[in-house]
Amino acid sequence: MYGKITNFIKELYPHQEFVPLHAPCFSGNEKKYLNDCIDSTYVSSVGQYVDRFEEQIAAYTKAAKAVVCVNGTNALHMSLLLAGVEKDDEVITQALTFIATCNAIHYIGAHPVFIDVDKDTMGLSPHALKEWLVHHAEVKGGICYNKRSQRKIKACVPMHTFGHPVHLNELLEVCREYAIELVEDAAESIGSLYKGQHTGTFGKIGVLSFNGNKTITTGGGGMLLFMDEELAKQAKHLTTQAKVPHRWEFIHDEIGYNYRMPNINAALGCAQLENLDKYIANKRETALQYQEFFKHIPDIHFFSEPEGCRSNYWLNAVLLKDKSAREDFLQYTNDHRVMTRPVWGLMNKSDMFKNAETDALVNTQWFEERVVNIPSSVRTALL
């Protein structure tokens, strides 16, 4: 059976001795814009491509403003600072996530609280969140507190796992009831829509990533999405060392951060963005072929987009029947030069966050034992 699967994947990605999980695709104006950037000599954090990339991402996502960062982790850190998270506050998130989500929380000296995910999204569950808050939280003076730790619960950070949107309307409702700011970790979900609206534009702030393995890439890079233009101005100020504009003086009016994306990276992003819709259509076609193929494979289920959503299918995922089957699948596919990988190790099991508060994480642990990502690159033969 595993031989049949690896052969099918190799047919999807022909002429490759080794099929990677997700390789970048450069099929447009990347070299042209990079050369233009080099010729201009503006290769650092000032230049026309930085402004252009921010404007184009804002237009694409229909955010009011977008602010670039050097990577998605920096963008998450900044988003939490702007949401008012301070040292020893608590931030609710999911244990089924890439470690950047939790690292950003830790940079502030805040504490993650891990809540279960939904079976249809692999993302933070509004029902599980409400259940935990009912029993463990109270709102006093417009501030949410953890009744056990007495810490303030300032923010909630759902992550759109593999590009599949979480149940945003329900999460927003719960967060509003408990006076908690919603910050979307939309790092994996550029081009994904929830009820027709782009992910990252529902909460106070949304965060995108343009790492080398993402749907489009700037090499490394991140983006903050805002519906509040004043908050976006503050973000731009803080991410550029909090420097007050002046023709020659160096004046800084608060603690700032060197989170600026270089112009040369933004040039790459502008070229990539021109082909984003084409890449997503390509990846969705691949997902459809996987979905049809796995209908006929016993004990392996292809994970499809949630109802009412359009996923970018950043990374396709299959569910094996148990942990043993997952390990056998990983061993066979990687031995036969098809890259697959398990879902991330759960954050509450890492040494750094093992003492964090959690709920039962029933679905989270179920996914951890079964999820495998399979090759998901743009298929260049179809472009």
Q: What is the pLDDT of residues 372-382, one digit of tens each?
A: 999 999 999 88
- Condensed to tens digits (0 to 9), the pLDDT of residues 168-222 reads 999 999 999 999 999 999 999 999 999 999 999 999 999 999 999 999 999 999 9
DSSP letter string, 10-37: HHHSTT-SSB-S------SSHHHHHHHH
CA dist 50 to 70, 267, 282, 296, 341, Å? Answer: 11, 7, 27, 47, 34
Contact 194, 170 (CB under 8 A): no
Of all residues in the chain, the percent with pLDDT exceeding 70 is: 100
Q: Which value, in Å, is the radius of gyration of the alpha carbons in the chain?
A: 21
Closest CA to 90 of 32, 132, 44: 132
| pTM for this predicted structure | 0.96
- Sign, Cα dihedral of 225, 209, 276, 49: positive
* Mean pLDDT, the chain, whole residue set: 97
Mean pLDDT for 95-106 is: 98
Q: Which domains does the chain have, with CATH numbers?
A: 2-24+276-382 (3.90.1150.10), 30-273 (3.40.640.10)
Backbone angles phi, psi at 136, to 5 degrees: -125, -5
Residue indicated by tokens 């954050």: 347
What 3-state class would DSSP assign to 185? Answer: strand
